[in-house]
Chain A
Amino acid sequence: MAPPGFLEADGRNMSRATVLMLMAPFFALVIFAFLYPLANLLSISVLEPQPTLEHYQRVAENPVYARVLFRTLQIALLVSLLSLALSLPVAVLMANSRGPKAIFLTACILLPFWSSVLVRTAAWAILLQRNGIINQTLQFIGITDEPVRLLYTQGAVVVAMTHVLMPFMVLPIYGALRNIPADYSRAAAICGAGPLRTFWEVTLPLAMPGIIGGFILVFLTALGYFITPALLGSPQEMMIATLISQQMRENLDWPFAAALVGVLTLIVTVITLAFSKVFRFERMLGGRV
């Protein structure tokens, strides 16, 4: 056994000072770039032009904002469910592959990850546009005579966001699956479980931490997602992030935008706490089984 040292991968042997020192840059960044601006923004929402709750009142009173919030939650949920459905088979395939096949699959997942979200969103705009390849194909095989409106719809937002966020779902599930020792499925098989039964009764429950982790990651990211809804979404069916941006940049109504941020932050916090109450947080992101 090597003596516990600075570079020990296992943090349990580190001294408190070492841990603090290693964590300091991270905490500094979080405080400077996240907590401080957020606190600032939230204070604007209740302090300007004078101490007041009128901005929150506005959010609550006008049903348009409730609808935007509800729609945002709906889309985020749909995107999470879709990417879960698409990611599970991919993650299972990845976890069961070795050698060149595994490298190829990982590359397929990671390559889009390395290209800009803007590029990937723009790609969907090209595919979905009026005389884009999808409309041309639809017309060619005679499903429709006129180009169909695909771009600037909720459907376009859901499809593109699912695509953009899928790696966040695949990777935690893959990690969880890889952590399951092969002996468990062997034990299930010898107990009389066929491959499907083994997956359902053993593999899936053991991969739950990764599945829940991926789900939360995608859901929360989707809630506040900006670029894709802004570029592909319908202006009549706005999502919360677009609305906030509009209030800030077009209406220059910072206090109201800040109130919307406050509401969104509250929702995210409540959902996160609810999840961590039901599923222990440390087991997420490929926790040990």
Chain B
Amino acid sequence: MSIAGFERPTLGKIIIDGVDCTTLPPNKRNIGMVFQHYTLFPHLSVADNVAFPLKMRGISRSERRRQAEAALETVRLAGYGDRMPKQLSGGQQQRVALARAIVYRPRVLLMDEPLSALDKNLREEMQLEIKRLHSELGLTVVFVTHDQGEALTMADRIAILKAGKLQQVSPARELYERPSNLFAAGFIGEMNMLPVEWDGQRARLVQGEEIVLPDQAAITPVTPGPAVLAVRPERLSYARAGTAGTWAATVRDVVYAGAGTLLITSLGDGTEVRLRIPSAGQEPVSPGDAIGLTCPPEAMLLYPQEGA
């Protein structure tokens, strides 16, 4: 909303392509936007909708028509120009909205949860469509979503915002594997968070086990004292209880889900630890069993305790 110019930021600047746009009204920013609910003008035909931004830019009628048709072709809706928006399906309407947003070759294309009103199949189709357009047009796209899976699939770089503050901006892989803080860690995907006591080299679990962590485990420097050890559930595995180097845990629930199984366990102090393991080739466990958890050192991340 701030990038589009509908809201004035309280702090900071918005610079697009080297131009400070912080105080520029939306109609002067020359950016494209696709809204959550299509917002095609219901009183205009599809072609007129797509040509609307061109009309606002004083482009001649014949040229408008030609460019609008070209844009409709880009979103694979050639020949739909004479229809009214209401005669199209949700996915088609959203593609018209997309055509309207790219027809004047804006500097940036903003997409505000553009797919959240579509059903799952259509959504995946549109995700691919947008990726295709993105590479075809070579346009910078700012894609707002609450769907973390969507974010990981679609984006080259992901920015996480919390209460108006940027938490992290990084490539998808780095964001998932090395989130820069606890909020980012918990936001994308599942994450186990274990309270530990950190002495500078070793982290001690509440129930006593000591874990030697490699230097790169801490993304930001962590001062000795209470800290949080974060591990993705798919990086954990289990062994027989008491095996050296494992953490004692009790199985609470086993959730079979075809290819994978979710194992919910708890440590001695009650901390819940989830494991996502392949269903095949595992020694069967059942609720109540005592097991030992293991984790490769490079999969462990250390964060300062929240609020510290």
Residues of A within 8 A of B (CB): 181, 183-184, 186-194, 197, 201-202, 205-206, 208, 289
Besides A193-B27, A194-B25, A289-B43, 6 other CB < 8 A contacts?
A181-B39, A183-B35, A190-B31, A191-B52, A192-B104, A289-B42
| A-B contacts, 15 listed (Cβ < 8 Å) | A183-B37, A184-B39, A186-B26, A187-B41, A189-B5, A189-B26, A190-B26, A190-B110, A191-B27, A191-B52, A191-B104, A192-B30, A192-B104, A193-B27, A206-B43
Q: Is the beta-carbon distance between A191 and B42 smaller than 8 angstroms?
A: no
Within 8 A of A (CB), among B12-70: 25-33, 35, 37, 39, 41-43, 52-53, 55-57
Q: Is the CB of B57 within 8 A of A189?
A: no
Given A191-B100, A205-B43, A206-B43, A186 contacting B52 (CB threshold 8 A):
no
A193 to chain B, nearest CB (A): 5
CA distance in complex: A187, B110 (Å): 12
In the assembled complex, the Cα of A206 lies from the Cα of B43 at a distance in Å of 7
Given known contacts A187-B33, A187-B35, is B27 in contact with A194 (CB within 8 Å)?
A: yes
Closest beta carbon of chain A to B117's beta carbon, Å: 12
Complex: A194 Cα to B39 Cα, angstroms: 17
- Min CB distance B153 to A, Å, is 26
Check A188–B31 contact: CB distance below 8 A.
Answer: no
The SS class assigned to the A binding surface is helix
Chain B contacts of A201 at CB under 8 A? 52, 55
A186-B6, A187-B33, A197-B56 known; A192+B39 contact, CB < 8 A: no
Contact B53 A191 (CB under 8 A): yes
A142 to chain B, nearest CB (A): 47
Chain B's interface size range is 20 to 34
Distance to closest chain B CB from A176 (angstroms) = 12
Residue of A181, A189, A205, A208 touching B25 (CB-CB under 8 A)? A189
Q: Is the CB of A188 within 8 A of B37?
A: no
Which of the listed residues A181, A193, A208 has the most CB atoms from chain B within 10 Å of its own CB?
Answer: A193
Q: Are B41 and A184 in contact (CB under 8 A)?
A: yes
The A-contacting residues of B in range 80-126, CB under 8 angstroms, are 100-101, 104, 110
Prevailing SS type, chain B contact patch: loop
1/0 contact string of B129-140 vs chain A (CB within 8 Å): 000000000000
Whole-angstrom CA separation of A98 from B232 in the bound complex? 48
Complexed CA–CA distance, A194 and B55 (Å): 12
**What CA separation (Å) do A202 and B6 show in the bound complex?**
18
Closest to A202 in B: B41
In chain A, what residue has the closest Cβ to B57?
A192
Closest to B100 in A: A191
Q: Within the assembled complex, what's the spacing in Å between the Cα atoms of A197 and B52?
A: 11
Residues from chain B with a CB closer than 8 A to the CB of A194 are 25, 27
Q: Are A189 and B27 in contact (CB under 8 A)?
A: yes
Residue in B4, B42, B55, B57 whose beta carbon sits within 8 Å of that of A190 in the complex: B4
- Pairwise interchain contact B53-A192, C-beta atoms closer than 8 A: yes
**In the complex the two chains form, what is the Cα distance from A28 to B140 in whole Å?**
65
On chain B, the residues within 8 Å of A289 by CB distance are 42-43
Q: In the docked arrangement, what's the CA distance between A186 and B41, Å?
A: 11
Please report the C-alpha to C-alpha distance between residue A169 and residue B137 in the assembled complex, in whole angstroms: 49
Q: Are A191 and B56 in touch, CB under 8 angstroms?
A: yes
Give the distance to chain B from A263, nearest Cβ to Cβ, in Å: 37
Residues on the A chain within 8 Å of B35, using CB:
183, 186-187
Looking at the assembled complex, report how far the CB atom of B63 sits from the nearest CB atom of chain A, in whole angstroms: 15
CA distance A193 to B26 in the complex (A): 9
A188 to B25, CA, bound (A): 12
Which of A183, A189, A190, A192 has most B Cβ within 10 Å?
A190
Question: What is the CB-to-nearest-CB distance from A143 to chain B, in angstroms, rounded to a whole number?
Answer: 44
A183 touching B41, Cβ below 8 Å: no
| Whole-angstrom CA separation of A183 from B97 in the bound complex | 13
Contact A190 B33 (CB under 8 A): yes
B27 and A206: CB pair below 8 A? no
In the complex, chain A residues whose CB is within 8 Å of the CB of B33: 186-187, 190
Cα(A190)–Cα(B29), bound, Å: 8
In the bound assembly, the distance between CA atoms of A190 and B35 in angstroms comes to 11
Contacts of B53 in A (CB 8 A): 191-192
B269, chain A: closest CB distance, angstroms? 44
With the chains together, A201 CA to B110 CA distance in Å?
23
For A188, what are the chain B residues with a Cβ–Cβ distance below 8 Å?
41, 52
Contact assessment for B42 and A206 in the assembled complex, using a CB-CB cutoff below 8 Å = yes
Also in contact, A193 and B56, with CB within 8 A (given A186-B26, A206-B42, A289-B42): yes
**CB-nearest residue of chain B to A197:** B56
A202–B49 Cα gap in the complex (Å)? 11
Task: Give bound CA distance, A187 to B26, whole Å.
Answer: 9
Residues of chain B within 8 A (CB-CB) of A184 are 39, 41
What residues of B have a CB within 8 angstroms of the CB of A208 in the complex? 43
Q: Which residue of A lies closest to B97 (CB)?
A: A187
Using known A-B contacts A192-B57, A192-B104, determine if residue A187 contacts B27 with beta carbons closer than 8 Å: no
Query: Contact partner of B39 among A187, A197, A205, CB < 8 A?
Result: A187
Are A183 and B39 also in contact (CB < 8 A) when A191-B100, A192-B53 are? yes
Q: How far is the CB of B255 from chain A (nearest CB, A)?
A: 30
The answer to whether A192 and B6 have CB atoms under 8 Å apart is no
> Nearest B residue to A183 by beta-carbon distance?
B39
Closest CB-CB distance, A181 to chain B, in whole Å? 7
Interface centre among A183, A184, A186, A192 (most CB of B within 10 A): A192
Chain B 178-200 residues near chain A, CB threshold 8 A: none
